[in-house]
Structure 1
Amino acid sequence: IHCHDGHTALAPVLIRELEGYRHFFQRTGCVVTIHNAGLGYHQEVDDLPFAQAITGLPPRVIHDNLLNRAFDPLLAAGGYAALSTVSETYARELQETDLDAMTGWLGHRLLARGARITGITNGINPGDYDPTRPKQHGLPAGFDPATGDLAGKKVCRRWLLDRLSGDGEPLAPARRVGDLSRVEDSHPLFTMVGRLTGQKGVDKLVGALESLLPLDPDFGVLILGSGEKTIERRLARLAGEPDARGRLCLLFGYDERLAAAVFAAGDFFLVPSRYEPCGLTDFIAQLFGNLPVVHHTGGLTKVENGVTGFTYREHSSAALMGAMQRAVSTFRRQPGVIRRMQRAAVERIRERYTWDRVIQRYFDLYRATLPQ
């Protein structure tokens, strides 16, 4: 039985502790995958009598698995199932570094009990994000970063920029703030698709843009997503500043086809997350020839600096701005390097991260959980 996150993490506990289930599942192995161990993702229960009443678990199980005084399903699962998470680096961060503080020290508590977390980086099906099939994504033209055929990418970019000019037609269902009327075809375009939260590092992005937009007038930024209202308001205020007008466009909301258009139009894709268990948007961006600029943490360490994207190590606006400047400089001075990086990014995915390759590691983990 493969369970995902705190929502289902008690299943292995129940089938080992409750009489009727214990016999029926005696030869069944269990795996619990932690997709995000951050505080707020554990599905913990503060009311201990209520936790016992709704689960039927013995009092010792409830009281032996308290994290910050709450019954924690992920902590409990460690005694009954094999644990995995969605990248090798995130597994190490949880059990070998102080970044585990952001989980309430879940990883270290598990380690103290002898429960190791196995890291298996998520896979992706490249066929789901294939820019050579434009109709699948609602794009006006196809292109292929793997071969360097990018004429259609320029068409997609122009098509989207025309709609994001000052008088462009609305892009439902997103609410637009700002536009890209000053962004020329020769300018690099930074993009982002995701939740606009502190965990995703958007607060650091605002700081980076506040400094970089006045310094360099020849790039644009396009952001699609929604999230914390304080961050949305900071972005909206920035879009109204003189240096950002016509260069920073915000699309508050989400739509799958609109996201595909953003991935296809962009030159660089920003992932400044404070922590990131795996990250799939960096994969998607690479398949669309959109090179990631990422904070070197968790699953984002699969992006190779200067080979398949651009990385930075310190979680700060200054470090992010430095990585963006490196990306812009390479774009302007070494376009051939950018083309090689685009090809290498797609090749890495096909060599290492397709699901048919990744699934073999899960099969090994499944076999290890079965009773001998």
Structure 2
Amino acid sequence: MKVLLSSAELFGYAKAGGLADIVYGLAKSLKGLGVDVSIVVPLYGFAKDKILGEVIDLDENLKVVREKLYGLDVFFVKHSLFDRDSIYSENGKDYDDNHLRFGLLSEAVAKIAQSFSFDIVHLNDWHTALAAYYLKQTGFDGRIAFTIHNLAYQGVFEVEPEILKIDRKYFSHEYAEFYGKLNFLKVGIAFSDRVVFVSSAYLDEVLSGEFEFGLSGFIRNHSEKIIAILNGIDYDEFNPQKDRLIYKGFSKDNLRGKYFNKQKLLSELGLKSNMPLFAFIGRFTEQKGVDFLYESLNEILKLDLNFVVLGDSSVNYKEMFESIKSDRFVALYGYNEQVARRLYAASDFIVVPSVFEPCGLVQLIAFRYGSIPVVHSVGGLKQTVHPIDSNTCGVGFVYENQTKEELLDSLEEAIRLYKDKGRLSKIRKFNMGCDFGVIRTAKEYMSLYEELLGR
């Protein structure tokens, strides 16, 4: 079975969020299960001098560079449209030609799939969604799976369909049209053989009309081909016992290293060492609950705790967090994988106050590193984090409503747990022994591929 995974991001190469992690982890796991898997990503300007493999002409205007990356077979799409220093945007503003850039990526995916006789093309998010249309129009005899990692990002542009080589007859509400604009995600849903959401809880929310961003009716019309497969994390990469990015390794059988990581990070950040450490790790966006978190911080910092936030360098959020004056609060800007790992390893609790969350990887990584999640009960968070006194694998503090009062109640409950060292250690070890690995995810995708191919 030959599988072609396509994405705008790939861990270890180009990352803006969890998409990079899951694509890399899935590809690696599929390969370990014996699948002949390749990946397609753009060749971005920030990496063009490092990718030096075989150059292949797809046509007179489109080339790919084929190279091994971390043991995986990767096609890097080479074109001036990708010759940028960022993936999607610059100075907080999306590139004006993203429709052309990711339309081109989709076209390249289709050509690679045809040229190298792939059985399955697995698309991820709107950036590669148009490939489903291009493949179907050119008589591709394989099958197409399309995973939606976040329905909020649909790739909606005010452009004529012909610019993207889409027949105007498909510019209708049954296919590509969305309030007079062209919607990449709708095209992916319409022309793929199977559409995958990344948690069943999130899919239920969408089908009920919650967090559906104008597409619940369209999605219900395609319900016969829609399923859910829960994302997972790469347990080889996210392994606190062997992680070279943290100060000292540790395991559920020996947590001394976790305490060392905490004291070391607190010292570097100038925070007091006799309090529980809470952290937020993620993109600074409204969806991730950052606005809500900021509005709650003054009340949060009245509690006996340290709080660290790590995210991107968004100017607006940087100004917001810099207005918080406390010797128990630190904001770190510009996402850095090493800093993130050290924060996971050091933290007692990871706060995930997302407004909505398709799956979420932060809470899964937190489990792995012995940090207990405090989460809003939505989507994948609701599916993977169970009440603190539950016997179901993966426990934390779960609040139902996005209110300051409920968040503060959960934080206060977490602080009480922190003071009960024996119970705290027991819960850490319980979570660290849970299996939210991407191998389970890969096995479910393998079953899906085999079903699509009639095997």
TM bucket normalised to smaller: 0.7 to 0.9
CA contact (8 A) 1:208 1:318 kept: no
Distance 1:203 1:345, change over 3 A: same
Partner of 2:82: none
Query: 1 CA distance for matches of 2:346 and 2:246?
Result: 13
Q: Does 2:187 match 1:76?
A: yes
Shift of 1:113: 4.5
TM-score, L = length of structure 2: 0.68
Shift of 1:121: 0.8
Q: Residue type of the partner of 1:97?
A: G
Partner of 1:142: 249
Distance 1:338 1:129, change over 3 A: same
Shift of 1:209: 2.0
Q: Residue type of the partner of 2:286?
A: G
Query: 1 CA distance for matches of 2:226 and 2:415?
Result: 38
Shift of 1:228: 4.2
Partner of 2:45: none
Partner of 2:148: 34
CA contact (8 A) 1:67 1:106 kept: no
CA contact (8 A) 2:150 2:358 kept: yes
Partner of 2:229: 120
Query: 2 CA distance for matches of 1:9 and 1:227?
Result: 28
Shift of 1:108: 2.5
Q: Does 2:139 match 1:53?
A: no
Partner of 2:386: 304
Shift of 1:256: 1.5
Q: Does 2:124 match 1:4?
A: yes
Q: Secondary structure at the match of 2:387?
A: coil
Query: 1 CA distance for matches of 2:318 and 2:224?
Result: 40
Shift of 1:314: 0.8
Partner of 1:133: 242
Query: 2 CA distance for matches of 1:371 and 1:45?
Result: 36
Larger fraction in strand: 2
Q: Residue type of the partner of 1:157?
A: K
Match of 1:190 among 278, 297, 302: 278
Q: Residue type of the partner of 1:208?
A: S
CA contact (8 A) 1:224 1:259 kept: yes
Q: How does 1:178-217 map to 2 (within 5 A)?
A: 180=271, 183-184=272-273, 186-214=274-302, 216=303
Distance 1:228 1:197, change over 3 A: farther
Partner of 1:290: 371
CA contact (8 A) 2:246 2:261 kept: no
Match of 2:329 among 227, 241, 248: 248
Match of 1:90 among 191, 202, 220: 202
Query: 1 CA distance for matches of 2:314 and 2:354?
Result: 14
Distance 1:233 1:318, change over 3 A: farther
Query: 2 CA distance for matches of 1:305 and 1:314?
Result: 15
Distance 1:237 1:53, change over 3 A: closer
Provide structure 1 residue ranges, at least 5 long, that are not aligned to the other structure: 166-179
Give runs of ≥4 in structure 1 deviating > 6 Å.
Answer: none
Distance 1:14 1:203, change over 3 A: same
Partner of 2:133: 13
Q: Residue type of the partner of 2:415?
A: V
Query: 1 CA distance for matches of 2:378 and 2:441?
Result: 20
Q: Residue type of the partner of 2:386?
A: E
Partner of 1:176: none
TM-score, L = length of structure 1: 0.82
Partner of 1:168: none
Number of aligned residues: 326
Distance 1:314 1:271, change over 3 A: same
- Report the more deviating stretch, 110-119 or 6-15: 110-119
Spell out, residue by residue over 1:111-167, the C-alpha distance to the aligned partner (whole angstroms, 9 max, x if none): 134455311111112221222225x1241x2221x22x22111211111111112xx
| RMSD (CA atoms) | 1.9
Query: 1 CA distance for matches of 2:154 and 2:295?
Result: 31
Q: Residue type of the partner of 1:305?
A: P
Partner of 1:160: 265
CA contact (8 A) 2:197 2:229 kept: yes
Partner of 1:278: 359
Shift of 1:54: 2.3
CA contact (8 A) 2:207 2:216 kept: yes
Provide structure 2 residue ranges, at least 5 long, that are not aligned to the other structure: 1-120
Q: Residue type of the partner of 1:206?
A: Y
Q: Secondary structure at the match of 1:77?
A: helix
Partner of 2:95: none
Query: 2 CA distance for matches of 1:130 and 1:32?
Result: 29
Shift of 1:62: 1.9
